[in-house]
Amino acid sequence: MLKHYQNFLTVQFTVDEINNDPHLLPNISLGYQLLNNFHESGLAVENSLMWLSGKGPTIPNYSCDRQHKSIVVIGGMSSTLSMAMATLLGLYKVPQLSYGSFDLLLSDEVLYPYVYQLGSRESTLHLAAVQLMLHFGWTWVGLIFSGDLTGEQFSKHLKDEMTWNGLCLAFTEQVSEKFKQGDDDIKFLARILGSSSNVIFIYGNTASLKFFSELLMIFAFYGKMFVISASWDFSAYSDDEMMSNFHGTLIFSQFKREIPGFIDFLKSVHPRANPEDIFLKSYWEIVFHCLLSERKNLNMTSQQCDESLTFADVPPIFFDKTTKEESSNIYNGVYLLAHTLHQMLQTEAKDLSELLAYPLLSWKLLHFLKCVNPVNGIKDDLCVDGPSMTAETYDILNFRSFPDKIWSEVKVGEVIPHEKVLSISEEDIDWPEDFPQIPSSTCSVACGPGFRKQFREGQPICCFDCTLCPDGKFSNKTDAEECIQCPEDQYPSQEKDRCLPRTVTYLAYEETLGMILTSAAFCFSILTIFVLRVFVIHRDTPIVKANNRSLSYILLTSLTLCFLSSLLFLGRPTPAICILRQTTFAIVFTVAIASILAKTITVVLAFRATKPGSKLRRWLRPAVSHSLIFLCTLIQMFLCSIWLGTYPPFFEMDTHSEASFIVIQCNEGSLVTFYCVLGYMGFLALVSFTLAFLARNLPDTFNEAKYLTFSMLVFCSVWISFLPAYQSTKGKAMVAMEIFSILVSSAGILICIFAPKCYVILLRPDRNTLEILKNKASP
């Protein structure tokens, strides 16, 4: 892991910078001792013991070095190494500054009271991740996290925040060392690759994700995009070829202060300028594959190193051109130590000799380390949590891999989690090769306007089906959970994505149907008047006399009014018209049916009263027929009075019958009385039909019972068909249906009863004579 050589160079640069500062630790020079643990916990403990013993043999609890004062340990790039060192150093109350990622376990003041973490707390990283998901519309993402307390806490916080924002985790996988046994690693990969999520968030540090990094060297996650934290250095366990698999990865990097002057310092670092630095010499020969001396090495080429090579020429896998987070933490840690010593000199001792005479100097640093700002050295008496800080801003980096083993991390945005502020330049992002544009990661395709989300039972809220909004409702946004009811004066468009204004409508005279019905009503009423005029002109002819001309006049007059009453159903309704039209129709129709009933009874009685002295003759007088009509009409008027007195028809605006129209209509009020009125007319018609049917075989000349039978058959057929049709129609169609029934039933009566008579009167006057009628009447 030669990449971390930058950390040692940071120590060297920072110590030189402090030693050259006349205002910080004047007349005191800082030094350092470098021990390499090769990222092994055992070596970390051994080196700690060597450091405690000083030069010479390693002897526990005994120090042979009395000339140098080593008071603080800066070490532990990973929490595992820090814990291993702290186990031994804590026995001697030696402060340890851990410069790796912040770990919750190390913050336990009972187990590790002398460990001070320089890494910033990533307590808001889950907020930053959610802001990125919301920006790109990633509602269905996977999570891979380290199997430690920090990873588990991050997983919990991320899941809670995603749930709060309506986002879902497609899967959660914990990286554990147990996967090294058996086929658990294959199952682990199968669960990830089999997921429908295209975006995977990976959280953990380099050490905790070591196993996952090794898996990535064997398996490539095609069709998956990574979003990671900078605490995971995926290049640590990857070769040059594998680095291309991370092209397009987005990285959350904690906002850190650049080390001023560090780049210029690197330009001055060279093996020729620092011949005593054995680490630099080995590092140089490895990264440039050359030799700095004449000696031969079987593992390297014999090529001599070019004198012009600098750190700018080092491949990125061996040296990061940007300041790493660990290097920034080390820089702050060394300055923290320097400011701490400076504060101690000012408050505890008047000169250096008095300070160095203190036998347990490292113990005395404990309080000061908690209360000194590592950046400006200002003492804070309220400081109780150590120097660790919380990251307030994250940079969003885009990893790019190029041929010839070249890659870079380009800043494409930043996020301030607590303020929910995200700024990102999408055009500057290089996405993974599997995604030609911004990747989408959703469980279900978004529901467009006009649809609503219908959640699937037993599945996360991000998995749903899209259902078209029901009638009368709309949705004008994407992924609407509920459709909105349109106002009463509006209706949803065909796409159900907006509301349109409704048109007020009614069965008007001007529209085609209204014109047809109006014309029919006038034509039939004129025809009826014409028939009435024919009957009046030919009132003295035998055929008119034989069929009770007074009843014929009443019937024709009532039929004329029936035809004209249908006009009350046309045009814009008003409250007065709503009350008048049904009652007017009912009364005039009752008069017409009562007249037919009277004619039928007259025909039947006329043949029963042919015997001399028959008492039935008195029932053939016109007054009896007129009284019958009056009585029947009076009963109907009584029913109509009850209707109007209890629950009369009223004016209303129907917003439900037709989606795009507001129908102005009359509500019939009480349906019970309405059907009672119709039923009463039906009862009269049924009685008339029965009597006429029984008298149908009487002599043809005097008998109009046959025609009365046909007229009542038509009438009953029309109104029996009207009832179900009336119930199944709404709006203007219902009104048109009633007008049609009025016209057809009235026309049926007119034609069936009076057409044969008009035929004889107008076209066959030779048959309209008394002699013919007498001959027809004789047996």
Do 512-777 and 125-255+392-428 have the same topology in CATH?
A: no
SS3 state of residue 291: strand
Note the pLDDT of residue 158. Answer: 95
According to the model, what pLDDT value does residue 549 have?
79
In whole angstroms, give the CA distance from residue 754 to residue 406: 107
Q: Tell me which CATH code domain 2-119+310-370 carries.
A: 3.40.50.2300
CATH superfamily for 125-255+392-428 is Response regulator (3.40.50.2300)
Burial class of residue 361, CB neighbours in 10 A (0-12, 13-18, 19+): middle
3-state secondary structure of 394: strand
What local confidence, expressed as pLDDT, does residue 65 receive? 57
* Low-confidence residues in the chain, pLDDT < 50: 298, 300-301, 381-382, 384-388, 700-702, 776-779
3-state secondary structure of 331: helix
Q: Is 356 helix (H, G, I), strand (E, B) or coil?
A: helix
Name the residue ranges covered by the structural domains of the chain: 2-119+310-370, 125-255+392-428, 451-501, 512-777
Q: What is the pLDDT of residues 123-165, one digit of tens each?
A: 889 999 999 999 999 999 999 999 888 899 999 999 999 999 9
Q: Which CATH number fits domain 512-777: 1.20.1070.10, 3.40.50.920, 3.30.450.90, 1.10.630.10?
A: 1.20.1070.10
CA distances from 385 to 74, 117, 157, 264, 521 (A): 18, 10, 22, 35, 97
Helix (H) or strand (E) run with residue 141 in it: strand 140-146
Q: What is the pLDDT of residue 298?
A: 45
Helix axes 125-136, 149-164, angle to 10 degrees: 40
What percentage of residues in the chain have a pLDDT greater than 90? 21
Count other C-beta atoms under 10 Å from residue 318's C-beta: 17
pLDDT value, residue 63:
62
Parallel, antiparallel or unpaired: strands 225-229 and 250-254: parallel
Per-residue model confidence (pLDDT) at position 185: 74
